[in-house]
Amino acid sequence: MVSALDAARARAWVDGFVAAVEERHAELGELDRRIGDGDFGSNLRSAARRIVANLESAPATAGGPFAAVSDAFMATGGTSGPLLGMWFRALAKAGADRDEIPLADLARAVADGVAAIQRLGGAQVGDKTMLDAFVPAADALAGAVDSGDLAAALAAAAEAAAAGAEATAGLSARLGRSSYVGDAARGVPDPGASAVAMLFDCGARAAGAPPTRKETNA
Amino acid sequence: MSSARRSIVNDPLDVVDQALRGLARQHRGVLEVHEDPAFVARAADPGDAEPRVALIAGGGSGHEPMHSGFVGAGMLDAAVPGLIFSSPTAAQVEAATRHVDRGRGVLHVIKNYTGDVMNFGIAAEVVADDGIEVARVIVDDDLATDGAGAGRRGTAAVIVVEKACGAAAARGASLAELVELGERIVAGARTMALAVEPLTHPGADQPSFELGPDEVELGVGIHGERGVGRVPFATAHELTGHLVDPLLRSLALERGERVIAIVNGLGATHPLELSIVFDELGARLDDAGIEIARSLVGTYVSALDMGGVSITLVRADDALLDLWDAPVRTPALRW
């Protein structure tokens, strides 16, 4: 049983995320067009391209791939990009200068990253944002630390993120661009939360867990 | 329906970058334009080696000469321009902050817009890990947005904050002292704007909003945002009254007080018109017994090519006027 995220799995997580963005950016962009301003898909895609470029010079530590992602999102416009950049930065710090991130440290870094998003973005759970997937994922991960099973813990986080993202379809937004469309956003899941579900699914797969049930996208 | 003004550009997507290249050419030896991530900094000056607090401001482009025009001795150390009307990225702010830091901390002067506040905040957290101390002053002077959920927007009062804090930093003020100074200026500053013509984005085929021939948008934002309402087009005398009266009420200025007054063109308003508005402002403040101790009249905070004007009043005391009078050498302000 693997109980730490090593550099190879961290890299596989990031590679999987880049591939998933390439595959699903149009779908996420379409969600954003329905409830926001429609730039989310293209912002994600331009971040993915920067990630690929950054990976070439990323250090071979467990945090290196996450630093490449963080830097890419920090250089992205919009609101979601930089907030995702701060989340990845917490993982990059947890894996800086070492070959693997023990599960307990990973759970703590995930929670730190989520706290940074709350602090800087000012949203809470229930506001129909990426936090509606991030917070349950962080809680699920923290709850699975004692199992000592990285794959099972990330799978639990991915399940929780997917459920959280699906539930955003029933919410109307208080913050962000979708707050301007009011109840018209009901029935459509939040694209940011959907991307977070995708992100944790990639993490679970990189750790060796079977794919999460595919979350619906309205 | 009004038609869009034609603009002199090459590629609408390259407007900000090419303008920065032009700025660098124009101010060689004074400004340095850094690319990817983009920011504008003072050119290296061997005569300015003292450790002191450094100042950064930034925000979306389209408001020139703000902020790049305020980079130079006695004012900003760097400006961070985003795309037109878009916040700069956290990576840009981070790079500029690292570049200007001299070990005494960096002051971020931020106009109150969600994206700007967030991206400057992210950059501050990132550099804090490397021991760079950052503090911020948030400028929220736009009276038209008083009571709005996101708070008042920031606009031309930022010039006074940048000028006074830049002068104080040059004299060796600490980061905490600069925050206190900046917040005191902001607390005594309000701005009110009106638009008589809408703005057009470079390359766009129509203006960003419609304004009837007899309409004036009162309280308009510097991105063409809706203001407090539409009023009938009228003489400069009446229009100036729409701006000044709410400012005097909001600041509760009393007879004998002094102000710094800024009459700012929003992009397409002629200097003759701005002087007329300033004359009207002066007459009204004379009546109210308020002294315009210092003033700026010109286009400093534009909203692309919007036709219109904003008036900013900032409560002034001897200390603030002394900082205002300190030498400044930037593309847009120089004395």
Tell whether B322 is within 8 A of chain A (Cβ): no
The yes-or-no answer on residue B270 being catalytic is no
pLDDT of residue A212: 66
Question: What are the pLDDT digits (tens) for B141-177?
Answer: 999 999 877 789 999 999 999 999 999 999 999 999 9
Q: Where are the alpha helices (DSSP H) in chain B?
A: 15-26, 90-100, 114-128, 157-170, 175-187, 236-251, 271-288, 318-325
pLDDT of residue B293: 98
Nearest residue of chain B to residue A79 (CA atoms) = B115
Closest Cα in chain B, distance from residue A175 (Å)? 10
Residue B1 binned pLDDT confidence (cut-offs 50, 70, 90) = very low
- Best residue in A112, A120, A177 to probe B by mutation, most B CBs within 10 Å? A120
| Residues of chain A found within 8 Å of residue B37, distances taken between Cβ atoms | 75
CA distances A5 to A98, B61, B93, B248, Å, are: 11, 42, 32, 62
Among A126, A116, A125, A135, which Cα is nearest to A196's? A135
Which of B63, B67, B108, B201 is labelled catalytic?
B63
Classify the phi-psi angles of A106: left when phi > 0, otherwise alpha if psi is within -120 to 50, otherwise beta.
alpha
Q: What are phi and psi of A19, to 5 degrees?
A: -65, -40
The H or E element containing residue B291 is: strand B291-298
Q: Measured between alpha carbons, how far is B148 from B166 in angstroms, rounded to an integer?
A: 30
Question: What are the pLDDT digits (tens) for A69-99?
Answer: 999 999 987 788 999 999 999 999 999 999 9
| Residues of chain A found within 8 Å of residue B92, distances taken between Cβ atoms | 75
Closest Cα in chain B, distance from residue A176 (Å)? 9
Q: Measured between alpha carbons, how far is A191 from A74 in angstroms, rounded to an integer?
A: 19
Interface contact flag, A89 B126, Cβ < 8 Å? yes
pLDDT of residue B209: 87
Asked if the structure places residue A216 within a domain, the reply is no
Tell whether B89 is within 8 A of chain A (Cβ): yes
pLDDT of residue B72: 96
Residue B279 binned pLDDT confidence (cut-offs 50, 70, 90) = very high
Question: What are the pLDDT digits (tens) for B90-104?
Answer: 999 999 999 999 999
Minimum mean pLDDT range among A20-24, A76-80, B11-15, B156-160: A76-80
Burial degree of B43 (CB within 10 A; 0-12, 13-18, 19+): middle
Q: Are B157 and B139 in contact (CB under 8 A)?
A: yes
| Residues of chain A found within 8 Å of residue B121, distances taken between Cβ atoms | 120
Question: What are the pLDDT digits (tens) for A179-195?
Answer: 666 677 788 999 999 99
Going by their DSSP bridges, the two strands B215-218 and B189-197 should be labelled as antiparallel
Q: Are B262 and B294 in contact (CB under 8 A)?
A: no
Asked if the structure places residue A218 within a domain, the reply is no
Higher-confidence position of B86 and A68: A68
Question: What average pLDDT does the segment A194-204 reach?
Answer: 97
Residue A216 binned pLDDT confidence (cut-offs 50, 70, 90) = very low
Please say if the pLDDT value at position A214 is more than 70. Answer: no
Domain that includes residue A44, residue range: 4-206
- Best residue in B119, B127, B129, B130 to probe A by mutation, most A CBs within 10 Å? B119
* The two structure tokens encoding residue B240: 């100036």
Q: Give the CATH number, domain containing residue A86.
A: 1.25.40.340
Mean pLDDT of chain B: 95
- What is the number of alpha carbons within 13 Å of residue B328 lying toward its C-beta? 27
Which of B67, B99, B223, B270 is labelled catalytic?
B223
Q: Are B258 and B290 in contact (CB under 8 A)?
A: yes
Residue type, B97: T
Q: Look up the CATH number of domain B189-323.
A: 3.30.1180.20
Asked if the structure places residue A212 within a domain, the reply is no
pLDDT of residue A122: 86
pLDDT of residue B51: 92
Residue A213 binned pLDDT confidence (cut-offs 50, 70, 90) = low
Closest Cα in chain A, distance from residue B67 (Å)? 19
pLDDT of residue B124: 97
Segment 39-98 of chain A within 8 Å of chain B by CB = 71, 74-79, 81-83, 85-86, 89, 93
What CATH superfamily is the domain B12-187? Dihydroxyacetone kinase; domain 1 (3.40.50.10440)
The rounded Cα B299 to chain-centroid distance in angstroms is: 10
- Per domain, the residue ranges of chain B are 12-187, 189-323
Task: Transcribe B194-215 into DSSP letters.
Answer: EEEE----TT-SS-SS---TTE
| Residues of chain A found within 8 Å of residue B122, distances taken between Cβ atoms | 74, 82-83, 85-86, 120
The yes-or-no answer on residue B223 being catalytic is yes
* The two structure tokens encoding residue A209: 């867990």
Number of domains in chain A: 1
Asked if the structure places residue A213 within a domain, the reply is no
Q: CB contacts < 8 Å between A and B, how many? A: 42
Please say if the pLDDT value at position A62 is more than 60. Answer: yes
pLDDT of residue A217: 46
Interface contact flag, A77 B82, Cβ < 8 Å? yes
Question: What are the pLDDT digits (tens) for A113-135?
Answer: 999 999 998 899 999 999 999 99
Question: What are the pLDDT digits (tens) for B35-75?
Answer: 989 999 999 888 888 899 999 999 999 999 999 999 999 99
Using CA atoms in the order B278, B282, B284, B286, what is the torsion angle rounded to 10 degrees?
Answer: 180
Tokens 């600041």 belong to: B251
Mean pLDDT of chain A: 91
ipTM exceeding cut-off 0.95 for this assembly: no
The rounded Cα B47 to chain-centroid distance in angstroms is: 28
